[in-house]
């Protein structure tokens, strides 16, 4: 008799960990537990009988042992409480074959330990997820579930045969190797299918609704039948037998792990059935090594598509995460843009239209304004609004036109307040770099001049304001703009008095310029140093 089914790994360790780890199947209540136990035992018995029917060198040792994969998958999905199902299945097998109870007990111990150790190690040590959608999960399943824990039942099983006196002399090593290989084969061929079917059966419905799945499956089955029914038992026939492999790999890349394992299982079943019937390329030398060839064939058909499907699934998940992060970043940038526009709007309300409207209201409340004066103020408010609207156009406009409009509007206002304006702006040829400013940057430049001049009159009591804009004589790499007055100044320029100065600092940052505010008893001077090469500017350097 061969190996007993493997106990399922502890599900209790997975509760609340991850929905991708194990199915949320709690076998609550005696009736549910007994029903699951009975179904497990019967299915184990059926697969064990099918596996032992393929035994060639010893009636209890076969190179294809499907119950190993069933036991490991069941214990992973439903918990180690179902381990008695392995003994029940083996008891049925022993009764049907007349195996002594002592040997049945030994096989049961070996197979139960194999499955329990494998499931526990996968779930508790290597963070295994039964979805098999990560390469690390497939590799862990191959190394721990298929190659590692299967050593246990092979060792205990051969020891049981030896103690029972039915182990042929001199064949212990050969039979141990075949036992171990048989467990590996069952784990790789049956285990993944049971894991995917038992975890979330509903996930198969979308696959079954795809015409591509059925088309690939039909072609794959037809190819396998043709290969094993018509290919002669010659060495080149072994190469021809690999014809279904590209189709299975295609199924894994296009249809996922489920598409790969189902087609792989169908091809292996066809290969075993046809070979047992005496057909196909595995019958070399009269079929003496057919089981060994079938084992190698099953391993190839099971491992390669599984690894490919997991790699594709992991790549798709990585792409999905990347797109999600990209979307989140785009939304965050959009929110930042909205906040920047909001701040800009508030500055424009303070520096432009809002200031003009407040002035008009103050003139009305004092009763000192004529209709003509109010009309002038409102026209200025409209000009500010037009300037703000022009700034929304990224391609049009001209900085010298903007400066000219500002002078036309600013000079009469200052003159009515008894302030003389000195305007000294370099020519277009001397400051070609200003022509590269965007509409928003041009607006920032105009607003800094406007704010500095307004503060000079309102807060400094100045009688003269000079505006100088041109190349910096000390640093040719800079364009220097200075708005100076002869007012009373303020004592602590580093504190950035008022919202107006705060706005100027913010606009300097947007321009990538350096802002200096120098104030004393002889007046205030606002200096903006703008790099000629805007593209190489790394941002603003603001100083008080």
How many Å apart are CA 19 and CA 432, to the nearest integer? 63
CB 148 within 8 A of CB 118: yes
- Structure token pair of residue 153: 């039942």
Q: Which of 342, 374, 404 is the last residue of a domain?
A: 342
Query: Does 378 fall in a domain?
Result: no
Which residues face 420 on adjacent strands? 464
- Cα 399 to chain center, whole Å? 46
Torsion of CA 416, 417, 422, 423, to 10 degrees: -60
320 and 396 housed in the same domain: no
CB 111 within 8 A of CB 86: yes
24 and 166 housed in the same domain: yes
Hey, which bits of 217-301 come out as E strands? none
- Cα 433 to chain center, whole Å? 44
Count other C-beta atoms under 10 Å from residue 88's C-beta.
18
193 and 228 housed in the same domain: no
Query: Does 544 fall in a domain?
Result: no
- Give residue 286's pLDDT band: very low, low, confident or very high (50, 70, 90): low
Domain residue limits at 19? 1-199
Residue 16: partners with Cβ closer than 8 Å, 6 or more residues away: none
220 and 184 housed in the same domain: no
Query: Does 177 fall in a domain?
Result: yes
Total domains in the fold of the chain: 3
Q: Tell me, what CATH number does 442's domain have? A: 3.30.565.10
CB 475 within 8 A of CB 512: no
Report the pLDDT averaged over residues 375-382.
Answer: 76
- Structure token pair of residue 208: 């079954």
441 and 300 housed in the same domain: no
Mean pLDDT is lowest, of 217-221, 521-525, 534-538, for 534-538
How many Å apart are CA 65 and CA 272, to the nearest integer? 12
Q: Which of 320, 342, 364 is the last residue of a domain?
A: 342
Highest mean pLDDT among 25-34, 217-226, 403-412: 217-226
Residue 525: partners with Cβ closer than 8 Å, 6 or more residues away: 482, 483, 484, 485, 516, 517, 518, 519
What is the structure's pLDDT at 467? 92
- Structure token pair of residue 211: 């015409």
How many Å apart are CA 377 and CA 413, to the nearest integer? 9
191 and 239 housed in the same domain: no
424 and 512 housed in the same domain: yes
223 and 164 housed in the same domain: no
**Sheet strand arrangement including 420-425:** 420-425, 464-471, 478-485, 523-531, 514-520
174 and 216 housed in the same domain: no
Nearest to 244 by CA among 306, 305, 184: 305
Sign of dihedral through CA atoms 37, 42, 45, 51? negative
Query: Taking 90 as the threshold, does the pLDDT of residue 43 lie above it?
Result: yes
Query: Does 361 fall in a domain?
Result: no
What is the structure's pLDDT at 101? 87
What is the structure's pLDDT at 21? 41
What is the structure's pLDDT at 303? 83
How many Å apart are CA 457 and CA 462, to the nearest integer? 5
Q: Which residues of 43-55 are buried (b: 16+ CB within 10 A; e: fewer)?
A: bbbbbbbbbbebb
- Cα 325 to chain center, whole Å? 7
Query: Does 459 fall in a domain?
Result: yes
Residue 302: partners with Cβ closer than 8 Å, 6 or more residues away: 188, 189, 192, 261, 264, 268
Torsion of CA 274, 275, 281, 286, to 10 degrees: -140
Nearest to 431 by CA among 474, 386, 476, 371: 476
Query: Does 376 fall in a domain?
Result: no
- Give residue 114's pLDDT band: very low, low, confident or very high (50, 70, 90): very high
Residue 543: partners with Cβ closer than 8 Å, 6 or more residues away: 514, 515, 516
Nearest to 399 by CA among 440, 432, 442: 442
Give the helix ranges, DSSP H, for 392-520: 399-416, 439-458, 498-511
Strand-pair category, 464-471 with 420-425: parallel
Query: Does 349 fall in a domain?
Result: no
Q: What is the DSSP string of 386-408?
A: HHHHHTT-SS---HHHHHHHHHH
Which residues face 518 on adjacent strands? 525
Query: Taking 70 as the threshold, does the pLDDT of residue 310 lie above it?
Result: yes
What is the structure's pLDDT at 255? 84
**Element holding 421 (H helix, E strand):** strand 420-425
The 3-state secondary structure of 422-433, one letter per residue: EEEECCCCCCHH
Report the pLDDT averaged over residues 129-146.
Answer: 86
234 and 181 housed in the same domain: no
- Give residue 156's pLDDT band: very low, low, confident or very high (50, 70, 90): very high
Percent of the chain with pLDDT over 90: 10
Percent of the chain with pLDDT over 70: 84
Report the pLDDT averaged over residues 227-239.
Answer: 81
Query: Taking 70 as the threshold, does the pLDDT of residue 288 lie above it?
Result: no
How many Å apart are CA 7 and CA 316, to the nearest integer? 33
Query: Taking 80 as the threshold, does the pLDDT of residue 34 lie above it?
Result: yes
User: What secondary structure letter does DSSP report for 463?
Assistant: S
- Cα 224 to chain center, whole Å? 38
What is the structure's pLDDT at 218? 93
40 and 172 housed in the same domain: yes
What is the structure's pLDDT at 155? 92
209 and 180 housed in the same domain: no
Q: Which of 199, 227, 248 is the last residue of a domain?
A: 199
- Structure token pair of residue 128: 């295994």
Query: Does 478 fall in a domain?
Result: yes
- Structure token pair of residue 148: 């590692």
- Give residue 259's pLDDT band: very low, low, confident or very high (50, 70, 90): confident
pLDDT per position as a tens digit, 382-426: 766 765 565 555 445 678 888 887 787 778 777 877 889 999 988
């Amino acid at each position: 008799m061969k190996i007993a089914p493997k106990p399922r790994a502890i599900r209790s360790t997975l509760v609340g960990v991850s929905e991708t780890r194990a199915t949320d199947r709690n076998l609550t209540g005696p009736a549910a537990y007994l029903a699951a136990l009975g179904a497990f035992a019967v299915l184990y018995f059926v697969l064990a009988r099918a596996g032992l029917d393929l035994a060639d060198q010893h009636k209890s040792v076969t190179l294809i042992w499907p119950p190993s994969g069933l036991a490991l998958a069941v214990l992973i999905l439903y918990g180690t409480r179902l381990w008695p199902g392995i003994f029940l299945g083996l008891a049925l097998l022993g009764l049907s074959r007349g195996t002594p109870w002592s040997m049945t007990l030994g096989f049961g111990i070996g197979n139960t330990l194999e499955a329990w150790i494998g499931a526990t190690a996968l779930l508790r040590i290597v963070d295994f997820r039964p979805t098999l959608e990560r390469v690390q999960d497939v590799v862990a399943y191959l190394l721990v579930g298929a190659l590692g824990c299967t050593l246990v039942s092979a060792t205990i099983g051969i020891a049981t045969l030896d103690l029972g006196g039915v182990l042929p002399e001199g064949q212990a090593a050969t039979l141990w190797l075949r036992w171990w290989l048989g467990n590996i084969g069952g784990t790789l061929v049956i285990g993944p299918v049971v894991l995917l079917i038992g975890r979330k059966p509903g996930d198969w419905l979308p696959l079954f609704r795809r015409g591509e799945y059925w088309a690939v499956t039909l072609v794959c089955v037809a190819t396998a039948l043709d290969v094993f029914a018509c290919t002669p038992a010659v060495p080149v026939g072994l190469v021809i037998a690999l014809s279904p492999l590209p189709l299975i790999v295609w199924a894994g890349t296009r249809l996922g792990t489920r598409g790969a394992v189902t087609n792989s299982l169908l091809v292996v079943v066809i290969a075993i059935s046809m070979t047992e019937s005496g057909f196909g390329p595995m019958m070399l030398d009269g079929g003496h090594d057919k089981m060994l060839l079938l084992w190698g064939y099953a391993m190839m058909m099971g491992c390669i598509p599984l690894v490919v499907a997991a790699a594709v699934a992991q790549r798709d998940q990585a792409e999905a995460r990347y797109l999600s992060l990209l979307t989140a970043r785009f939304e965050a940038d959009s929110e930042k843009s909205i906040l920047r526009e909001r701040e800009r709007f508030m500055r424009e309300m303070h520096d432009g239209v809002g200031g003009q409207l407040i002035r008009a209201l103050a003139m009305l409340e004092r009763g000192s304004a004529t209709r003509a004066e109010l009309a002038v103020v409102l026209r200025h408010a409209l000009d500010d609004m037009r300037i703000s609207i022009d700034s929304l156009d990224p391609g049009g406009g001209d900085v010298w036109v903007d400066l000219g409009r500002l002078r036309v509007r600013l000079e009469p206002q200052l003159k009515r307040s008894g302030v003389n304006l000195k305007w000294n702006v370099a020519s277009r040829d001397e400051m070609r770099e200003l022509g590269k400013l965007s509409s928003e940057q041009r607006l920032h430049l105009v607003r800094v001049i406007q704010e500095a001049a307004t503060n000079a009159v309102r807060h400094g009591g100045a009688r003269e304001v000079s505006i100088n804009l041109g190349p910096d004589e000390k640093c040719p790499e800079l364009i220097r703009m200075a708005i100076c007055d002869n007012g009373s100044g303020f004592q602590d320029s580093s504190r950035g008095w008022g919202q107006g100065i705060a706005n100027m600092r913010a606009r300097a940052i947007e321009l990538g310029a350096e802002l200096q505010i120098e104030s004393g008893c002889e007046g205030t001077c606002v200096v903006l140093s703008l790099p000629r090469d805007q593209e190489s500017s790394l941002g603003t350097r603001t100083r008080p």
